[in-house]
Amino acid sequence: MSQVMKFEVNFENGYFTSGGHSWPCLLLALNRPSFECAPPASNRPPLCQLLLGFTQRQSFPITTMSSGNAQIGKPAPNFKATAVVDGQFKDIQLSDYKGKYVVFFFYPLDFTFVCPTEIVAFSDRAEDFRRIGCEVIGCSVDSHFSHLAWINTPRKQGGLGTMKIPLVADLTKTISRDYGVLKEDDGIAYRGLFVIDDKGILRQITINDLPVGRSVDETLRLVQAFQHTDKHGEVCPAGWKPGSDTIVPDVDKSKEYFSKQ
């Protein structure tokens, strides 16, 4: 009967443990808290033993993704970087936007396929966000030169055309890593979207896998909902839109809302 090694995965501290020994966990998304594998030759380093034994016994998708510092209810990670703003290069930082809501979204790469549809959609609706005191900022791991070249490419040729929102260059990948959206194995960002309030506090996080774009309407609705709760202290039920009923977060007063359902 073949011997089996059981490995426990501590996602919080980033270690594999087995038989009283621990090794750094470089596989960051195993989708399960433990796994078993046949022990390979002992003359290999522990991580090599783990990988070889693991692939000999079973396989499932492994993805590496940065953990980041972005947490709901905490200050959003500040950044300072070069962006393309109104067709010009400009250094901007998140703290410049204090006092306004910010929608900060990441996309994988310039000159791709889903990305221009999202960026153009957000840019075309920039005034809708500004009317409610919110700015929209896009970011990718491309250089500001690449951003500008893409902006100068006509939309009918897959370009962006005139932009009403800044595009931040994260060439060092520091910002993507801080926000926990960096796909480490490919060096690009997932489609992360962050709603940051007027005090710089992170209120909402959405991270899409690469093939699927995001909804501008839903993003606008979320900003409006958070602003409503900020102002009135009431809470917004599922699918809430401006003008619809909210809930008073009180055992007795909430019954007014539920009695109408």
115 catalytic? Reply is: yes
> Which helix (H) or strand (E) segment is 257 a member of?
helix 255-258
Q: Which of 25, 37, 115, 134 is catalytic?
A: 115
pLDDT for the residue numbered 210: 97
pLDDT exceeding 70 applies to what percent of the chain? 75
> What is the residue-wise DSSP string for 149-213?
HHHTS-GGGT---S-SS-EEE-TT-HHHHHTT-EETTTTEE-EEEEEE-TTSBEEEEEEE-TT--
Q: How confident is the model at residue 44 (pLDDT cuts 50, 70, 90)?
A: very low
- 100 or 65, which is more confident? 100
Q: Please compute the mean of the pLDDT values over residues 58-83 and round it to a whole number.
A: 83
**E strand residue ranges, the chain:** 5-10, 15-18, 21-24, 34-37, 80-85, 88-93, 101-106, 134-140, 167-169, 182-183, 188-189, 191-196, 202-208
Do 7 and 30 meet the contact criterion of CB atoms below 8 Å apart? Answer: no
What is the value of pTM for the model shown? 0.76
CATH of domain 74-213: 3.40.30.10
Q: How far is CA 162 from the centre of its chain?
A: 25
Domain ranges in the chain are 74-213, 215-260
pLDDT for the residue numbered 52: 40
pLDDT for the residue numbered 58: 44
pLDDT, tens digit, 9 for 90 and up, residues 4-34:
455 565 545 555 555 566 555 444 444 444 4
